[in-house]
Amino acid sequence: MNQPDLDWKNLTFSYTKTDYNVRCTYKDGKWGEIEVSDSEYVPLHIAATCLHYGQESFEGLKAYRGKDGKIRIFRMEENAKRFIRSAEGIKMQPMPVELFCEMVRKVVKLNERFIPPYGTGASLYIRPLEIGISARVGVKPADEYMVIMLVSPVGPYFKEGFKPTKVCMSREYDRVAPKGTGSIKIGGNYAASLVAGEKAHDLGYSVMLYIDPKEKKYLDECGAANFFGIKNNTYITPASESILPSITNKSLTQLAEDLGLKVERRQIPVEELDTFEEVSACGTAAVCSPIAEIHDLDNGKKYVFSTNNEAGPLTTKLYNTLTGIQFGEVEDTHGWCEILD
Ligand code: PLP
Ligand code: COI
């Protein structure tokens, strides 16, 4: 296996062309065979529902090269289940869990030489997506769908990696509506977040921390990542209908319990930020990204959590345990990783 000549240690979270992607089409009431493609393009009907009416959903998960040289995929059944919920949320055909997992295994094996070597901190990001491909002019769901899975070797999502980053918040921007599509992973949510995201970047922040869209009082989530705070030996993360249930957050919550922390999933009023000892963003891409400061753009208030450019002790412990499991350094007591033969 000849490894590509990539600067593994300095990878960013961006697209790198790999050897293959896999595709599967739903047609005439059934899913077809998994097809392997070396093309980066998809032929689409000009009236496909994904182009006009946003019938598109996606997932994000990772494969890791472990300390023992083995390939590990993290919690893929959880992504498969969320992929079903996302499809149902926009009237697309849900893909069965086992077919989803088969496609993931196949795309990883086919691109094995792109899995970053152990010790570089990088991983192989797997991006499944589903699109409606039938031609429609009226607003109606398609009856034909395509699932594509592509991969890309990636490094940290925020440029700081595991160093604390700065984020901002404002009541002027909502990513989703209160009873809207925030709890599923569809492209439309991300289109709706681009103005706020670019505003945050233009002002020098990594990301916009969203406040709940209904009451404008509680913390929701951090761009494409969940939020958690730690105080008094307690891991606290928002309960909200308008955030994506993060698999990383669910895992960190379990690890926090394992470490003897209390766990609270509840509404977090913005003012409570004053009382947290450590705060962080978490997600597949973000892993666990400590937050140094949060600036409230509406009133100029600054919440500061780190002044020495280091993550707090409990965030560090959680991060080391999670990534330790993913890279095969820490025992996987919850059975979260599937090892590929
Ligand atoms: N929230 C949003 C809006 C996301 O896009 C993501 C990324 O998938 C997350 C949270 C984190 O979820 P997960 O940990 O399952 O990747
Ligand atoms: C992920 O964490 O997998 C995400 O999907 C984030 C992303 C939108 C870049």
DSSP 234-261: EEEEE--TTS---HHHHHHHHHHHHTT-
Burial 76-99 (b: 16+ CB within 10 A, else e): bebbbbbbbebbebbebbbbebee
- For residue 161, the model assigns a pLDDT of 84
Measured distance CA(326)–CA(64) in Å, rounded: 6
The CA–CA distances, whole Å, from 237 to 47, 113, 163, 248 equal 42, 37, 21, 12
Residues in Cβ contact with 55 at an 8 Å cutoff, skipping those fewer than 6 apart = 49, 90, 91, 92, 131, 132, 141, 142
At residue 258, φ and ψ (nearest 5 deg) are -60, -35
> Cα of 182 to ligand 1 centre, how many Å?
11
Reduced to 3 states, what is the DSSP secondary structure of residue 186?
strand
Q: Is 223 left (phi over 0), alpha (psi -120 to 50) or beta?
A: left
> Cα of 83 to ligand 1 centre, how many Å?
12
pLDDT < 70: residue spans in the chain: none
The ligand minimizing its distance to the Cα of 248 is 1
Domains of the chain, CATH where assigned: 8-154 (3.30.470.10), 165-326 (3.20.10.10)
Ligand 2 atom closest to Cα of residue 246: 2
Closest to 338 in 3D by CA, of 105, 169, 112: 105
Structural tokens at position 292: 């140094």
- For residue 341, the model assigns a pLDDT of 81
Measured distance CA(220)–CA(98) in Å, rounded: 32
Structural tokens at position 206: 């990594």
> Cα of 224 to ligand 2 centre, how many Å?
6
- For residue 304, the model assigns a pLDDT of 97
Ligand 2 neighbours, Cβ below 6 Å, are 60, 224, 283-285
Total-model pTM: 0.97
- For residue 27, the model assigns a pLDDT of 98
Ligand 1 neighbours, Cβ below 6 Å, are 60, 221, 224-226, 244, 246-249, 283-284
> Cα of 157 to ligand 2 centre, how many Å?
9
> Cα of 288 to ligand 2 centre, how many Å?
13
**Bridge-partner residues for 209, per DSSP?**
169, 222
Contact assessment for residue 283 and residue 227, using Cβ atoms and an 8 Å cutoff: no
> Cα of 285 to ligand 2 centre, how many Å?
5
The ligand minimizing its distance to the Cα of 225 is 1
- For residue 54, the model assigns a pLDDT of 98
Contact assessment for residue 152 and residue 127, using Cβ atoms and an 8 Å cutoff: yes
Q: Whose CA is nearest to atom 7 of ligand 2?
A: 224
Query: Torsion angle, CA of 179/185/188/193, rounded to 10 degrees?
Result: 80
Q: Strand 287-296 vs strand 165-169: parallel, antiparallel, or unpaired?
A: parallel
- For residue 184, the model assigns a pLDDT of 98
Closest to 85 in 3D by CA, of 180, 164, 186: 186
**Bridge-partner residues for 153, per DSSP?**
124
Q: Tell which one of 75, 244, 251 to mutate to probe ligand 1, the residue whose CB is within 8 A of the most ligand atoms.
A: 244
Q: For residue 214, how far is the Cα from the chain centroid?
A: 24
Measured distance CA(258)–CA(107) in Å, rounded: 33
Closest to 206 in 3D by CA, of 154, 243, 248, 159: 159
Q: Strand 71-74 vs strand 234-238: parallel, antiparallel, or unpaired?
A: unpaired
- For residue 91, the model assigns a pLDDT of 98
Contact assessment for residue 126 and residue 152, using Cβ atoms and an 8 Å cutoff: no
**Bridge-partner residues for 283, per DSSP?**
287
Ligand 2 atom closest to Cα of residue 157: 9
The ligand minimizing its distance to the Cα of 75 is 1
- For residue 258, the model assigns a pLDDT of 98
